Amino acid sequence: MPDKIEDAMQIIHQHAPQFRAKIGIILGSGLSGVADEMTHTISIPYQSIPGLHVGRVSGHPSLLALGQMDGVPVACLKGRLHLYEGTPYESLRILIQIVKHLGCEVLIVTGASGSLQPEVGPGEVMAISDHINMQPGNPLIGPNDESVGPRFVSLENAYDADLRRTLIEVGARLGFNIHEGVYLSTMGPVFETLAEIRAFRSWGADAVGMSVVPEVILARHCGIRVAGISAITNLAVGLSKEKVTHELTLSSGDRLARTLAKLIPAYVKEVANAL
């Protein structure tokens, strides 16, 4: 185990000595309330863990929550670290490797996003089927640690088709119509221009956001299966008269958290039973 992740795990084990998780969850903007569905929770601030930065964006508490969700042990990241804040890739790598070393076989990545499809509006949920990476870098650039994963990583089926199928089935059982689509990730923190939205739609993107992709790449590098859930908080610029703002993202995210608070625990239990 690399020194930095070993230091991080020592601190975590001081708080939760015997804890082992089956599933990891990353909660995006305005979605941290989903973690309220957990029981027997131990919360560890990111700033207490060596190598991690603290996010400063509203709607991201920066807490590692360890506990049970519908009887399944989970490691929940309440708030993500964004590259546009100046967070180094090293912090993202440590965060995902913590999930791996806690025992997680599956990572559920959620994120707020703008829809590029007029018929998929605010309040809808999209299962991510693939991504387009428009961020300027890649978290695997630099020397590779073979103890974590291989130098070259295939992103074919990066968003596991079986996990996605299960998500849609669980959603249907609960009365939720879950869409499928391609997520495009930009660096941020600016929202997209009209010209960019037109270009992204022509490329086949269905939703756009400022996160998700680096974490998915890192998870696949260390062998964790990924399910992606895009919480649609708004229509992209040019598709609605409503002005796109972070406040809109948070208010819509809060409403979506109520949907995901029903969907994710049921999904977690279904996935855990199949592992």
Question: Directed axis angle between helix 213-221 and helix 89-101, to 10°?
Answer: 50
**Of 69, 112, 126, 127, catalytic:** 112
What's the rounded Cα separation, in Å, for the pair 236 and 155?
Answer: 26
**Of 75, 234, 257, 267, catalytic:** 234
**Of 53, 60, 179, 221, catalytic:** 60
Q: How many CA atoms lie within 13 A of 158 on its CB side?
A: 23
Per the annotation, the verdict on 29 as an active-site residue is: yes
**Of 91, 185, 211, 230, catalytic:** 211
CB 234 within 8 A of CB 114: yes
Per the annotation, the verdict on 234 as an active-site residue is: yes
Per the annotation, the verdict on 246 as an active-site residue is: yes
Per the annotation, the verdict on 240 as an active-site residue is: no
Per the annotation, the verdict on 211 as an active-site residue is: yes
**Of 16, 43, 246, 261, catalytic:** 246
**Of 48, 84, 90, 129, catalytic:** 84
Per the annotation, the verdict on 134 as an active-site residue is: no
Exposure of 254 by Cβ count < 10 A (0-12 exposed, 13-18 middle, 19+ buried)? middle
Q: Are strands 106-115 and 225-235 parallel, antiparallel or unpaired?
A: parallel
**Of 21, 35, 65, 210, catalytic:** 210
CB 214 within 8 A of CB 92: yes
What's the rounded Cα separation, in Å, for the pair 212 and 184?
Answer: 9
**Of 9, 32, 82, 126, catalytic:** 82
Per the annotation, the verdict on 15 as an active-site residue is: no
Q: Which residues contact 74 (CB under 8 A, 6 or more apart)?
A: 21, 22, 23, 24, 25, 38, 66, 67, 68, 268
What's the rounded Cα separation, in Å, for the pair 257 and 260?
Answer: 5
Per the annotation, the verdict on 266 as an active-site residue is: no
Query: How is residue 157 written in tokens?
Result: 């089926």
**Of 15, 85, 138, 251, catalytic:** 85
What's the rounded Cα separation, in Å, for the pair 206 and 124?
Answer: 12
**Of 9, 21, 29, 65, catalytic:** 29
Q: Count CB-CB contacts under 10 A for residue 146.
A: 8
Catalytic residues: 29, 60, 82, 84-85, 112, 210-211, 234, 246
